[in-house]
Amino acid sequence: MTDTSLVSNEPLSPAASSRRGAIAIAAILAALVVVPYLIGDQFVYHVFITICIFAALSTAWNIVGGFAGQLSLGHAIFYGIGAYAGIILMNMGISPWLGMFVGAAIAVIVALAISYPCFRLHGSFFSLATIAFLEVFRVLALHFRDLTGGATGKMIALKFGWEWMVFREKFPPLIIAFGLLLLTLAVAWWIRSHRIGFYLVATRERESAAKAAGVNTVKVRLTAVAVSAALTAFVGTFHAMYLTFIEPAAMFSLALSIQIAMFALIGGLGTVFGPLLGVIMLVPISELARGWLGAHAVGLHGFVYGAALIVVVLFMPNGLMGFLSRFKSQPAATKGQGLTVAAAPRDAERPPIGDPILVVDSLQKHFGGLHVTNNVSFALRQGEILGLIGPNGAGKTTVFNMISGFLKQDSGSVAVRGEDGKFHTPLAPTDFAAIGVGRTFQIVQPFAAMTVEENIMVGAFHRYQDVREAREVARETAHRMGLAPWLDAEARGLTIGGLKRLEVARVMAMKPRVLLLDEVMAGINQTDVRRAIDLMFQIRDSGVSIIAIEHVMQAVMSLSDRVIVLNSGQIIAEGKPHDVVRDPIVVEAYLGKEFVHAQA
């Protein structure tokens, strides 16, 4: 799901509204402790403790389910591990404060072991796999009776006091639950507002574009899962102490997993404070229903949950946070994007063309019986613009995919000169990005739910770890690309011309040394083509070497220092643009006789 509320509510948004938001959040958090203290009623305490626990669980879940978009329905595994570790160790005389960390450590190991293979799965399949793992854990907890007590479950040794996390009064557990909530919120907020958060959302939105921007998508997801599992296990340990009794069905429960995910969805998936909001909305209703009607109407509160989930999905897919953000001032209108490319005065002297920086040697690629590229060899020289042309299906994009690591060649090699002056042969997209190869995609791949600024920041993070620096670079790049007016607009709102420029901006923010442009001029109007050409020259003059796949002949002719013509996977001509278009082989294979007549 592409969550529109993701961006605008975060601490990243304009100062005034974020300050108001921060005050509201602080007030809500304070109320979580103050209200039950003032009322002093046992049931009220219980409700507020439950709110804190579920809000913490849901916030922790959201790091994986929301930020990373991996919809885990097995998060109770980590909760259960925390609970069992806590109680088993406590019965051995070890304080749950220590048990918490043991549980978290086990949860992290389990989380990594489960997630590594599962991250190959997408959407429903990932969810199904997590459910299956949860069932396995439940059955194992039932089976290993000596350790877990089997179906009968386990009681804690009733030892009271802070040391044991068990109390006669309700205030101390509220403080602990509240502390866990604060911890989880702080971690979620930190992640969302730092590099890893951008990387997670970018990976969720467009995995391949994230890879092209140098994001190690597997690593960031695993990090998110590990953090989320540890936090969930913390809460599990504490909740076990609070309940004083655990059993497999309640600890490794699918219903609990679903509930946690649901709170996050209802509050606002992928937002920092959404899950908290969702819990505050629903837990009191459910606890009251349970308290008042529980005896008469089993299942009523569950029915309310299910129905609420359906209603939210249908009518408020972005949750409460998305709903609230509708009342905030809208970002700049997205009209007229095509007309404002900053006219680029070319004052820089063109640097001379130097030695090869990227060398492609006899690339071969088959898809089944089809030879997509056959013996393709060429070199890109430092400071050169190399045009790659050819009819549709000639294999141009396939070549791009191989020289950016997205496709593995059957044979042949791609070597890139690194900053150390030596040639390297990167393999994965991330390696290509690391060595300074940036690319755009023929079909634009924006991170739709992120703003223009954030999109470009994902590229900038490649060189700048610090959020502020990355933002600065992103703004500066956006300015150069004529995207400045839409910095705060979501990428999904841009026109095709705007999106194409955004792609280039994102790559440029990576400060690449080699730029691979896949039809960046397709579908934009004449004025924009002329400005885009200027921009390419400007980029080249700043020392970047460019390979451009392009169909807009005007651009190819005026941009390229050299043109390579690809047909049926083979290079059929290579040379100066004007020579190439007069080459009879090219004319016959690609351009058609009319073109030559027109030229004449």
Partner 1 sequence: MDTFLQVVANGLLLGALFAIVSVGLTLIFGIVKVVNFAHGEFLMVGMYLTYLLTNRLGIHPFATVIAVVPLLFLLGALTQRFLIQPLMSARDDHIQIFATVGLSTALINLALLIFGADIANTSASGLRMPLQLGPVRVLTGQLAILAASVLLVVGLQRFLNQTQTGRAIRAVAQNRAAAQLMGINVNRIYILTFGIGAACVGVAAALIAPLYPTSPNIGTYFVLTAFVVVVLGGLGSIGGAFLGSLVIGLIDSLSGFYLSSDLREVAVFGVFLVILILKPSGLFSGGRLNLSHVSP
Residues that bind partner 1 (CB under 8 A): 1-2, 69, 71, 73, 117-118, 120-125, 127-129, 131-133, 135-136, 139-140, 142-143, 207-208, 254-255, 258, 261-262, 265, 269, 297-303, 305-310, 313-314, 317, 448
Tokens representing residue 39 in the block = 């009322």
Which residue, 96 or 270, is less far from partner 1 as judged by CB?
270
C-alpha–C-alpha distance, residues 501 and 39, integer Å: 58
C-alpha–C-alpha distance, residues 317 and 324, integer Å: 12
Give the three-state DSSP class for 91: helix
Which residue, 127 or 237, is less far from partner 1 as judged by CB?
127
Which residue, 142 or 596, is less far from partner 1 as judged by CB?
142
Give the three-state DSSP class for 154: strand
Tokens representing residue 165 in the block = 């996390």
DSSP string for 321-338? HHHHHTTSPPPPP-TTGG
Kindly list the distances between the CA atom of residue 387 and the CA atoms of 44, 527, 555, 581, 591, in Å, as whole numbers in the listed order. Answer: 70, 21, 9, 12, 15
Question: What crossing angle do the helices spanning 195-205 and 452-460 adopt, rounded to 10°?
Answer: 110
Query: Which residues are CB-contacts of 324 (< 8 A; sequence separation ≥ 6)?
Result: 5, 9
Which residue, 118 or 272, is less far from partner 1 as judged by CB?
118
Give the three-state DSSP class for 370: strand
Structural contact between residues 394 and 371, judged by C-beta atoms closer than 8 angstroms: no
Structural contact between residues 478 and 456, judged by C-beta atoms closer than 8 angstroms: yes
Which residue, 94 or 250, is less far from partner 1 as judged by CB?
250
* Least distance to partner 1, CB of residue 310, Å: 4
Which residue, 311 or 339, is less far from partner 1 as judged by CB?
311
* Least distance to partner 1, CB of residue 228, Å: 16
* Least distance to partner 1, CB of residue 143, Å: 5
Query: How far from the centroid of its chain's Cα atoms is residue 478's Cα?
Result: 21
Which residue, 247 or 550, is less far from partner 1 as judged by CB?
247
Question: What crossing angle do the helices spanning 217-243 and 195-205 adopt, rounded to 10°?
Answer: 110
Tokens representing residue 575 in the block = 């040379």
Q: Could you tell me which of 113, 103, 105, 104 has the C-alpha nearest to residue 136?
A: 113
* CA trace torsion 511, 516, 518, 523 (10° rounding): 40
Hey, what amino acid is at 184? T
Which residue, 81 or 552, is less far from partner 1 as judged by CB?
81
* Least distance to partner 1, CB of residue 58, Å: 14
Which residue, 144 or 162, is less far from partner 1 as judged by CB?
144
Which residue, 5 or 560, is less far from partner 1 as judged by CB?
5
* Least distance to partner 1, CB of residue 483, Å: 23
* Least distance to partner 1, CB of residue 286, Å: 11
* Least distance to partner 1, CB of residue 164, Å: 33
Which residue, 1 or 557, is less far from partner 1 as judged by CB?
1
Count of beta carbons in the 10 Å neighbourhood of residue 196:
20
Tokens representing residue 454 in the block = 């954030």
Sign of the Cα torsion 475, 477, 478, 484 reads positive
Which residue, 266 or 415, is less far from partner 1 as judged by CB?
266
Count of beta carbons in the 10 Å neighbourhood of residue 202:
27
Which residue, 313 or 434, is less far from partner 1 as judged by CB?
313
Which residue, 300 or 379, is less far from partner 1 as judged by CB?
300
C-alpha–C-alpha distance, residues 166 and 173, integer Å: 8
* Least distance to partner 1, CB of residue 260, Å: 12
* Least distance to partner 1, CB of residue 343, Å: 36
* Least distance to partner 1, CB of residue 599, Å: 38
Structural contact between residues 71 and 127, judged by C-beta atoms closer than 8 angstroms: yes
Give the three-state DSSP class for 293: helix
Which residue, 137 or 378, is less far from partner 1 as judged by CB?
137
* Least distance to partner 1, CB of residue 253, Å: 11
* CA trace torsion 310, 314, 317, 320 (10° rounding): -70
Q: Could you tell me which of 170, 171, 181, 173 has the C-alpha nearest to residue 279?
A: 181
* Least distance to partner 1, CB of residue 208, Å: 7
* Least distance to partner 1, CB of residue 368, Å: 13
Kindly list the distances between the CA atom of residue 547 and the CA atoms of 81, 383, 484, 586, in Å, as whole numbers in the listed order. Answer: 52, 10, 26, 19
Tokens representing residue 558 in the block = 């005026």
* Least distance to partner 1, CB of residue 381, Å: 34
Q: Could you tell me which of 509, 447, 406, 404 has the C-alpha nearest to residue 198?
A: 447
* Least distance to partner 1, CB of residue 257, Å: 10
